[in-house]
Amino acid sequence: MTQVDDSVLGTGEQLSTGRRDIERVQRRTVQTLLTSQICGGIGLVAGYSVTALLADDITGSKTLAGLAAASLSIGAAIVATSSGSAMSSSPMPIFCLSQAK
């Protein structure tokens, strides 16, 4: 085993390749991903709600408020479809664009 001084593992913890260590890291990773997905979902719902409320307040029309919220979903679907097809053909162009400064 190797002594590790790392903020992720904790200072001075022993690093080994044992089955329990791998399961612990996997469990922590899944918990982190789940938490981030929950926070993202809450933000998404809040964004849709605020968009509809602001559009209703600005235009005075509930129809236009619904259209504003629906356009968020349509825009997200278009971006997801086009980026998904681009990633399936070649993953590098999208990765390079996301890393551009």
Greater confidence (90 vs 88) lies with 88
Q: What is the pLDDT of residue 19?
A: 77
* Alpha-carbon span 82 to 97, nearest angstrom: 14
Q: What is the pLDDT of residue 20?
A: 80
**Does pLDDT of 57 surpass 60?**
yes
Mean pLDDT of the chain, nearest integer: 79
Which pLDDT band holds residue 99 (cuts at 50, 70, 90)? low
Exposed e or buried b for every residue in 22-44, given b needs 16+ CB within 10 A?
eeeeeeeeeeeeeeeeeeeeeee
Share of the chain above pLDDT 70, in %: 71
